[in-house]
Amino acid sequence: MDSDAGMRNLSSGLALQRVRSESLVTKAYETIKEAILENRFVAGRELSIEGLAQELGVSSTPVREALARLNADGLMELMPNRKPVVAGITNEEIHQVCEIRKHLEPYVMSILLREISTDQTLKESLIKLKQDIECLLGALSNKDLAPELYEKYIKADHRLQNIMAEGIREGLLRKILELVNNYVFRLRLFPERASENVQVQRMEEVCLEHLAIVNALLDGDMRGVGELVVKHLINGEARTLNTL
Sorted by sequence, the CB contacts under 8 Å of residue 189 that are 6+ apart come out as 38, 39, 154
pLDDT of residue 195: 61
Tell me how many degrees the CA angle 107-112-118 measures, rounded to the nearest 5.
145
pLDDT of residue 190: 55
Please state, in angstroms and rounded to a whole number, the distance separating the CA atoms of residues 155 and 136. 11
Please state, in angstroms and rounded to a whole number, the distance separating the CA atoms of residues 199 and 209. 15
pLDDT of residue 193: 52
Q: What angle in degrees, to the nearest 10, is found between the helix axes of 196-219 and 120-140?
A: 150
Stretch 17-22: mean pLDDT: 54
pLDDT over 60 (residue 169): yes
pLDDT of residue 31: 92
pTM of the model: 0.72
pLDDT of residue 138: 92
Stretch 206-225: mean pLDDT: 95
Query: How do residues 42-59 score in pLDDT, each as one tens digit?
Result: 888 999 999 999 999 989
Helix (H) or strand (E) segment spanning residue 179: helix 172-187
Q: Facing residues of 86 across strands?
A: 76
Which of 1-15, 108-122, 207-221 is predicted least confidently?
1-15
Q: What angle in degrees, to the nearest 10, is found between the helix axes of 222-243 and 91-116?
A: 160
Domains of the chain: 3-86 (1.10.10.10), 91-243 (1.20.120.530)
